[in-house]
Amino acid sequence: MYYGVNDVLIFILGLIVGSFSNVCIYRIPRNKSIIYPASHCPKCRSNISPKDNIPLLSYILLKGRCRNCKSKISIQYPIVELLTGLIYLIIYLIYGLSVQSLIYIILSAALIIIAFIDLNEQIVPDVISLPGIVIGFILSFFVPYISFINSALGIVVGGGIILIIGLVGSVIFKKEVMGGGDVKLAAIIGAFLGLKYIVISLFLGFFLGALAGIFLILSKIKSREDMVPFGPFIVLGSMITLLWGEKIISWYLGF
């Protein structure tokens, strides 16, 4: 497949946004500003120079270590950058230069940030989720690909499914199985993608989460009593749906 200049630029944009997303992933749970101070090593606190802050490339050149104190840099940093770059590129290849692409690349960045914060800290930050629901619903009045009714149904049904499962699960297992953050996360996705896509997203999320849980238990990485954050699987399901939702629906109807 031939990739043009626009494809490369979109991928680079994704790398840059992914680099900023890493800042958000680290600082938001700690209630720190995502703007000030400048990027620095969390171990030795030395500022990271521009040449050492090039997405993906700097990690490779530094061999995954801080230039000053030689402490290891988390593999999460290049993973988030590369993942964001690839998702941006795929969105562009599917939806082209359009308002829908712009909205989806912003949404995908927010979802990646949420997924990694939930993975690390087991929280879905309200500072992203609550504005995200409102923004997604407001946008539905102005974009052609989703109606405000569909967006509203996505919010209610998406959040409602998780809420009901959480309530039933807490009664059966005598502990919290779904947090309020998961409810708001599903509502964000429903606001942006609508009723049909949020249902598919949650189905995929539950399916992938179950597979991961079985693997972790069988490999003895986790026990049955350990909590596994569900947010990353909701995000993964939504990203698969965002990119290939219509193909999944066509395959299912054909099947």
Reported as a single tens digit per residue, the pLDDT across 155-166 is: 999 999 999 998
- To the nearest 10 degrees (0 to 180), the angle between helices 99-121 and 180-218 is 60
Burial 186-211 (b: 16+ CB within 10 A, else e): bbbbbbbbbbbbbbbbbebbbebbee
- Are residues 22 and 93 located together in one domain of the fold? yes
Q: Are residues 134 and 89 part of one domain?
A: no
Residue 92 within a domain: yes
Q: What's the whole-number mean pLDDT along residues 62-70?
A: 87
> Same domain, yes or no, for 203 and 91?
no
Q: Are residues 12 and 47 in the same domain?
A: yes
The answer to whether residues 92 and 128 belong to one domain is no
Tell me, yes or no, whether 82 and 142 share the same domain.
no
Query: For residue 155, what are the CA distances in angstroms to 5, 85, 194?
Result: 37, 28, 8
Position 111 in a domain: no
The structure's pTM equals 0.92
pLDDT in tens, 126-156: 999 999 999 999 999 999 999 999 999 999 9
Residues 211 and 254 in one domain: yes
The whole domain housing 26 covers 1-97
172 and 217 both lie in a single domain: yes
User: Is the peptide bond prior to 50 cis by the omega test (within 30 degrees of 0)?
Assistant: no
Half-sphere exposure of 168 (CA within 13 A, CB side): 6
User: φ, ψ for residue 44 (rounded to 5)?
Assistant: -95, -5
Question: Is pLDDT larger for residue 24 or for residue 255?
Answer: 24
Residue 130 lies in a domain: yes
User: In terms of domains, do 86 and 136 share one?
Assistant: no
Structure tokens at 98: 């359009």
Are 89 and 129 within one domain? no
- 199 and 242 belong to one structural domain: yes
How far is it, in rounded angstroms, from Cα 248 to Cα 181? 27
- Could you give the number of structural domains in the chain? 2
Percent of the chain with pLDDT over 90: 63
pLDDT band, residue 254 (cuts 50/70/90): confident
The Cα–Cα gap between 77 and 24 comes to: 11
First-to-last alpha carbon distance for the chain, in angstroms, is: 29
Q: Are residues 78 and 143 in the same domain?
A: no
Asked if the structure places residue 153 within a domain, the reply is yes
Confidence (pLDDT) at 193: 96
